[in-house]
A and B are shown apart, each in its own frame.
Chain A
Amino acid sequence: MTSQEGIALETNHKRKKSLSLIKFFKNKDTNWTTTILLLIGSLIILFPLYLTLTVALKSPQQLAQSLLAFPKELHWENFSKAMKLTHYFRSFKNSSLIAVPTVFITLLTNSMVAYAIARNMDKKFFRFLYYYFIAAMFIPFPIIMLPIVKEMSFLGLDNRLGLTILYIVYGLSLNIFIYIGYIRSLPISLEEAAIIDGANTWQIFWKVIFPLLKPINATIGILTALWAWNDFMLPLIILNDRELMTLPLVQYVFQSQFSTDYNLAFASYILALAPMLLVYIFAQKWIISGVMRGSVKG
């Protein structure tokens, strides 16, 4: 057997071997090195969540014995204790009563403002409005932080309603930027056809434009919901009344009372993180495509 024949046989053998592997993994294009690296990387994301859940389910003695192991007996009572201590349902209600109206009113109003500006950019006033709102993105919040607290308590708005207003107003800058980019890509002929049919601006917006905004509304809705639900700084400075506190703020306020009991604290963290996690598990495809779309159009 010549050496060439040997090589030929060997490559043939290699090919057969890899063919069976291909059959095993079905898709010959799959990049397994990358897949495995990404799977290892995802452990870095999942590990803190695993740790949180197991600590929340242990007793202090179990925790002292072993930090990492899965709990032998599950201490569900940590959750009920944490719920009682932090008035969980009250803060859950507060968070919802701020986040849900914020999302709906933001979608209804910010899209209208963006539409008005997008279709009147030839007019000086609307061009001014556009740059005025966009420029505000560069003003850091701390410059407003101290005066807004005085203003809100002076107006009697140091409550849920006040926070909702602030989220809707402060979202305007970025939302207008994203909406206008999207509205400009819509053909103007649709509106011209509606005008010929005798529709006024109001009807054009609700019957023609708003339905077309569905994908970008999803994006704005998701980003607004994440922000209004998870925000800590605005509730911290605006809300004084304990009864009105939101989920993240409650964790901050009760931190000192958790200081010795980590199991209780972690049960409380899980309870505060759970609503968003559950929504995410059911809607993750939708959420991810929504965020990606916003970045391309914006």
Chain B
Amino acid sequence: MAIPALVLFFAFHTLPALTGLFYSFTNWRGYGTWEFVGLKNYINLFKDARALDSYLFTFKFAIVATILVNVISLAIAIGLNAKIKFKTTLRAIYFIPNILSVLIVGYIFNYIFTFFLPDIAQVLGINALTKSILGNPDLAWVGVVILAVWQACGFNTLLYLSGLQTIDDTLYEAGSIDGANKWQQFKAITFPLIAPFFTINMVLAMKSFLMVFDHVVALTGGGPGRSTESISLLIYNGGFAGGEFAYQTANAVIYFIVILVISVFQMKVLQKREVEV
């Protein structure tokens, strides 16, 4: 069983990845003839303002979304782990966004940002928000962050919740006998003990947000202008419609290296902290 899996995996995953790497050294447009151009695609990428902008947007978005998702998810998880009423129902509600298609939820949020929020802002007299934030090149990325956080929190909350349930209650009893307040208990007991869950949540969230695609397609299509064009969307747009097959594969190779470096760096830094505590 392992051999067919190896063959299929090689054929549908490794082979296309290698083909991509190969084409990144050519000038293929996705059709017609091609020739080798060496590192030209890679050199051009570093001078390409459009590519640079997409990296800036993607990073800005991924960092803010990762931090927000982890802070909010941890807070919700602690709440859901406390002695509360309607525990099962509340857990069920907070996970709903994760079972829905991001694209469709994105269309719904698009409507909320375009019509609902400006209406509310008008009634409340908040002039700054009477126009859709999605139409504003400086603010559109905030809309993408809101959608991403709304959609992703449920999953990370569940991961934190399962981490919290591994903590022995007697530790908190001992803590309160020693006179520790809630914040001290969180700092000294909860957070150190769920550190492995924190690491995995940070890495997973960052990785998936760096790949952002559906959110952007549904909310802004990359606009206004190109202010919210993520790296995935740029590779898709340029590669399929723009005749930049080889050029965008080179972009994808750089993207791969960037993601790998960030993931390894995150793991190293966060795991080091785990060991210290």
Contacts and interface: CB of A to CB of B under 8 A. Distances in A.
Interface stretch (A14-22, A72-80, A111-119, A209-217): A111-119
Contacts of B82: 31, 34
A292 B99 contact: no
A146 B239 contact: yes
Interface string A147-181: 11111000000000000011001101000000000
Interface in B41-77: 76
B214 interface: yes
Contact of A151 (B15, B161, B210): B15
B96 A280 contact: yes
Interface residues of B, number: 83
Nearest to A168: B8
Interface stretch (A5-13, A38-46, A184-192): A38-46
B5 A172 contact: yes
A277 B99 contact: yes
B71 to A, nearest CB: 13
Given A46-B93, A146-B30, A273-B101, A35 B85 contact: yes
Contact of A38 (B79, B83, B210, B211): B79
A230 B96 CA distance: 13
B191 interface: no
Interface in A190-227: 226
Interface string B242-266: 0001001101110110011001000
A27 B83 CA distance: 10
Contacts of A31: 82-84
Contact of B92 (A38, A48, A284): A284
Interface in A206-253: 226, 229-230, 232-233, 237, 247-248, 251-252
A93 interface: no
Given A48-B105, A165-B8, A143 B159 contact: no
B206 interface: no
Interface in B100-114: 100-105, 107-109, 111-112
B131 interface: no
B162 interface: yes
